[in-house]
Structure 1
């Protein structure tokens, strides 16, 4: 029997889309959550010194999107042909742009730089959300061709993190995106995961 172990920090972030997808696929996995105190001790053991890491039968795999795409193909969420897969990948990268804008502002420590980055974040975030909202509305409630793909799950999982660091629901005022997140979180296997996952501050 194949074994799966996800190693990531004890918050949502880039690990959460993997947790969502493993749960969606009904795969039992060890959800190893690393504390900030533990991280320096194990960093050198990680490929490229980063997390998340997915171990499959003891072999380590890194890079969150590579892992997510692997799982998406496994669960038929990566498109019916190369062109649909391209659209799905592009949609996920668009969501990634949103995450980068918000996350870089949040983690910046220099006060002056943080102030400048907040201005950029406040300008770019609504524009990106409007574009994503229009895409979902155009495509029947999903990002691509009116059906569930890994881009939809990626967005819903990333919304946990983005909403937490912003201090408000990032989809507020964007009804199509809000409905999409609701649909993903209502998928039985994902809903079951959400009900039992640890409570974290981000």
Structure 2
């Protein structure tokens, strides 16, 4: 924050939209500097243009001195508000990030200025190739710096610039990008990058930025977009709904956890799409089938992979989980005379072999996650499965024969045990485990 005997008089002049002026507004707000946010109409700009240093907006008046060029203004104000990284190398990295952002803006502008068939083709490339590459590189750069900020160890002007850019791309009603073709592709890019999603949330929590987002007259964007109403309905057990609850918690998405009593279920059953639980109400519409809902929520939470091949691998692991469930349910379906032998075979042969296969895939991918290099919903799904499989007080599994073998099923699979601990350490997952009314902790 600026320290001075008298606060400077600051006037920012720009059009009544976010654009190049928004990074300046955000930096001023993050630094808790009072400023006049002067917004001119396009008609007013025609008469004002000749009075500006370079015939462009935004311009900044700082104690009577008029400055131009948004990046130069941003850097100047960042110095005044302690938003420049402390070391020279980190400052150079921050400048590198700002230049990278400008490269992304150029790609957007190139598509915007096309017409006809060329515009269609350019927009498709922008939202299916260029911007996904931009997001992927941004997440890589963020990860290289520790995952919290893009340069140094605290919020800087580079983070604010990237925040502004990512929010603009994901604002459904952006005054320019909304008119480009392939809007569905544009708006789903962020879903693949959970680290960037966490970054956006982190920047939003800065008190000055949060205050600005709440009061700015245009461009509410993601910051004030109404969150969807989500309700998960199931019995008061873990079961098939627990994966949904865990994904929502890992994605920091609010939801209503509705638990029905078995005696109330017959009256509710006709309202369920397939006469089964769990169901999910998402903005007033009711949906069913656990894996379908899990994949949908994973995409919303940024837990569904970075590309089509990763998504394919995740589908593969979910199918494999269905095979494991089929083995378990097969023993329950056996007659009492056959159940003992089937249970022994399940816990001594079939499940260990399947878990070995799973462990091999995990180790082949580096040992941390099943797909890619970040947490995904398949990691959460197998965490849930294995936690329930080794839960001593599980409401159903203790009814199977050879329960002692079940409880010791992971003794020869240390990589799976480590994987479970890694998933459990995720803040959202851990928070849910601590507060859920039923299930192992």
TM-score, with normalisation over the residues of structure 1? 0.89
Distance 1:200 1:143 in 2: 24
Does the C-alpha gap of structure 1 residues 200 and 87 become closer, same or farther in structure 2, counting only changes over 3 Å? closer
Q: Does 1:183 find its partner at 2:422? A: yes
Are 1:162 and 2:401 matched, yes or no? no
Provide the rounded CA distance (Å) in 1 between the counterparts of 2:281 and 2:388. 23
Q: State the match for 1:81 in structure 2.
A: 307
1:192 aligned onto 2:431: yes
Structure 2: which 5+ runs fail to align? 1-225
Q: Which stretch shifts more, 168-177 or 72-81?
A: 168-177
Shift of residue 196, structure 1, vs aligned partner: 0.6
**Whose relative contact order is higher, 1 or 2, with alpha carbons under 8 Å and at least 6 apart?**
1
8 Å contact from structure 2 (residues 253, 301) kept in 1 = no
Q: Is the 8 A contact 2:303 2:377 kept in 1?
A: yes
What's the counterpart of residue 164 of structure 2? none
Residues 9-24 of structure 1 mapped to structure 2, 5 A cutoff: 9-24=235-250
Q: Give the equivalent residue in structure 2 for 1:57.
A: 283
Q: Distance in 1 between matches of 2:239 and 2:383?
A: 12
Count of aligned residue pairs for this structure pair: 200
State the 1:200 CA deviation: 4.7
Q: How far apart, in 2, do the equivalents of 1:171 and 1:58 lie?
A: 41
| Residue in structure 1 matched with residue 10 of structure 2 by the alignment | none
Shift, 1:30, TM fit:
1.1
Query: Structure 2 vs 1, CA of residues 115 and 18 (structure 1 numbering), >3 Å: closer, same or farther?
Result: same
Please, which runs of 5 or more residues in structure 1 have no aligned partner? none
Contact 1:16/1:158 (CA < 8 Å) preserved in 2?
no
Query: How far did 1:145 drift?
Result: 3.1
Q: Is the 8 A contact 2:365 2:371 kept in 1?
A: yes
Q: Does 1:138 align with 2:364?
A: yes
Q: CA RMSD in A?
A: 2.0
**1:117 has 2:356 as partner:** no
Secondary structure, counterpart of 1:145 in structure 2: coil
Distance 1:15 1:170 in 2: 23
Look up the match of 2:376: 149
> Which string of whole-angstrom CA distances, capped at 9 and with x for unpartnered residues, describes residues 58-106 of structure 1?
211101000011011112222222112111110122123223322442x
Which structure has the greater CA radius of gyration?
2
- State the alpha-carbon separation in 2 of the partners of residues 77 and 133 from structure 1: 21
Which residue number corresponds to residue 67 of structure 1? 293
Are residues 41 and 20 of structure 1, via their aligned partners in 2, closer, same or farther at CA, if it must alter by over 3 Å? Answer: same
| 1:26 paired to 2:252 | yes
CA distance in 1, matches of 2:408, 2:303: 26
Corresponding residue number in structure 1 for 2:412: 173
- Checking the alignment, whether the CA contact within 8 Å between 2:230 and 2:280 is kept in structure 1 is yes
